[in-house]
Amino acid sequence: MPKTDPQDVNQQVEAHFTPEMEERGVSRRDFLKFCTAMAASLAMPFSFAPAIAQAVTDPKRPPVIWLHFQDCTACTETLLRSFHPTVEQLVLDTISVDYLETIMAAAGHQAEAAKEASLKENAGNYILVVEGSIPTKDDGIYCKIAGKTALEHLEETVPNAGALIAIGSCASWGGIPSSAPDPTGAKGLSEVYPGETVINLPGCPPNSYNLLQTIVYYLTLNKLPDLTDKSRPKFAYGTLIHENCERRPHFDNGRFAEQFGDSGHMNGWCLYKLGCKGPETYNNCPALGFNDVGANSWPVGTGHPCFGCSEEEIAFTVPMHQQSNVTTPAPPALFPRIVEEQGEGVNAGGAAIVGGIVGAAAGAAAMMAKRLQERDQLEEKMKNAQQQQDKPEE
């Protein structure tokens, strides 16, 4: 059993810290935070942090081969925009990308040769990430790379992969390219390979931390994370957005934005009446946010209803502003109520931050440290506001 003494654990993690990381601007503290936050977000005990540190720095860890077919490239873009804990290099190094056309220096024949060498060297071990839908109509001629169709590339790579990951909604079930009239016969990876276990990470775009967590889990435990009935990791897609949303207390108290730009919208009230699909969409967006640009960096946080981008039955199918079916009307027990007498401004913010923390606890602690800091600041503000209120009038 791994030791659980925090100091011991920290030392064991730090033993894997390399001078190369330091040269790239990654501090020991960053690395420690990365490994412990990963353990927390994957529901592993703290004592697993050293195992994570070892797995992600093992020079023999399996590489990622990333195939890119019919899509807009936002899945790659979201990976390149991730920099928690301030280390996009660590993210890229951790997942050891051997082939990804968009970011590799090599091009043309050189790139193909590098891919073939890696496929040979790592047969049976590599992690195959597929981005974009796969055109299947007319023998797949609508997407060709290096003279081969997407179907042919998959024939060469799927059979010897150690794990298969479909990143984004296009690769998970066809996404936008499969919308009517679907001229290319666009399909997701699991539909093209029904006999294989494909880990679906849908989203448009998906959150790159969910990819990172999935890969770290696989590298550390040498098995796949628990999956939902739609083959999505439970740690990321196990809960409805509506259950973690920072605006949920407004929903529970019947405070809705009725139109874009009205006072409810401006005050951060619930977006249900504007067509928010959070009540039907499973994803951890409220807890993770996107691109580390601060609190609320996710669609609902910025004032736009969720359009259900990770749900095959909703995204690109159900009209954007159609109201969704609510199957969980009872308020989640962990949420604070909006209590009028505490003062509107502070309460709305308080609800938002606590909502974020609830979300983090539910399965995405990669951002937990940041949120906790925000909570401390908020508590301080609330304390000050209370002290102001309690001051006797002069």
272 binds, options ligand F3S, ligand SF4, none, Cβ within 5 to 8 A by partner type: ligand SF4
Smaller CB distance to ligand F3S: residue 132 or 286?
286
Smaller CB distance to ligand SF4: residue 193 or 251?
251
Of 95, 101, 92, residue with least CA distance to 127 = 95
Q: Is position 38 an interface residue for ligand F3S (rule: CB under 6 A)?
A: no
Q: Choose one: 22-30, 117-125, 226-234, 272-280; the region binding ligand SF4 (CB under 6 A).
A: 272-280
Asked whether 277 and 314 are in contact (CB, 8 A), the reply is yes
Q: Is position 270 an interface residue for ligand SF4 (rule: CB under 6 A)?
A: yes
Smaller CB distance to ligand F3S: residue 132 or 301?
301
**Dist CA 348 CA 250 (whole Å):** 8
Smaller CB distance to ligand SF4: residue 82 or 281?
281
Q: Which two tokens stand for residue 205?
A: 């775009």
Task: Please provide the DSSP assignment of 17-29 as one string.
Answer: --HHHHHTT--HH
Binders of ligand F3S among 164-223, rule CB under 6 A?
A: 203
Q: Choose one: 116-124, 162-170, 175-183, 247-255; the region binding ligand SF4 (CB under 6 A).
A: 247-255
Q: Give the other-Cβ count within 10 Å of 89's Cβ.
A: 15
271 binds, options ligand SF4, ligand F3S, none, Cβ within 5 to 8 A by partner type: ligand SF4
Strand boundaries in 41-136, DSSP class E = 64-68, 97-99, 127-131, 134-135
**Dist CA 131 CA 179 (whole Å):** 17
One residue of 76, 190, 213, 281 binding ligand F3S per CB under 6 A: 281
Q: Is position 62 an interface residue for ligand SF4 (rule: CB under 6 A)?
A: no
Report, in Å, the least distance between residue 245 CB and ligand SF4. 3
Q: Is position 351 an interface residue for ligand F3S (rule: CB under 6 A)?
A: no
Asked whether 277 and 307 are in contact (CB, 8 A), the reply is yes
Q: Choose one: 136-144, 221-229, 258-266, 280-288; the region binding ligand F3S (CB under 6 A).
A: 280-288
**Dist CA 309 CA 175 (whole Å):** 9
Residue 171 CA: distances (Å) to CA of 75, 152, 210, 265: 10, 16, 15, 34
Smaller CB distance to ligand SF4: residue 241 or 288?
241
Q: Which two tokens stand for residue 375?
A: 């909570």
Q: Is position 257 an interface residue for ligand SF4 (rule: CB under 6 A)?
A: no
Smaller CB distance to ligand F3S: residue 50 or 268?
268
203 binds, options ligand SF4, ligand F3S, none, Cβ within 5 to 8 A by partner type: ligand F3S
Q: Is 83 exposed, middle or buried (0-12, 13-18, 19+ CB in 10 A)?
A: middle
One residue of 161, 201, 276, 367 binding ligand SF4 per CB under 6 A: 276
Asked whether 355 and 335 are in contact (CB, 8 A), the reply is yes
Q: Is 300 exposed, middle or buried (0-12, 13-18, 19+ CB in 10 A)?
A: buried
Residue 70 DSSP symbol? B
Report, in Å, the least distance between residue 281 CB and ligand F3S. 5
**Dist CA 172 CA 310 (whole Å):** 9
Of 197, 215, 188, residue with least CA distance to 82 = 215
Binding mask of the shown chain, residues 288 to 317, with x at each position contacting ligand F3S by CB under 6 A: ----------xxx-----xxxxx-------
Q: Is position 217 an interface residue for ligand SF4 (rule: CB under 6 A)?
A: no
Asked whether 131 and 206 are in contact (CB, 8 A), the reply is no
Residue 247 CA: distances (Å) to CA of 167, 228, 306, 338, 363: 28, 26, 12, 10, 19
Report, in Å, the least distance between residue 284 CB and ligand SF4. 13
Q: Give the other-Cβ count within 10 Å of 293's Cβ.
A: 10
Q: Compute how many residues bind ligand SF4; rule: CB under 6 A.
A: 14
298 binds, options ligand SF4, ligand F3S, none, Cβ within 5 to 8 A by partner type: ligand F3S
Report, in Å, the least distance between residue 249 CB and ligand SF4. 8
Which residues are registered as beta bridge partners of 128? 65, 164
Positions in the binding site for ligand F3S (CB under 6 A): 203, 241, 281, 283, 285, 298-300, 306-310
Residues at the interface with ligand SF4 (CB under 6 A): 241-242, 245, 247-248, 251, 270-272, 276, 278-279, 300, 306
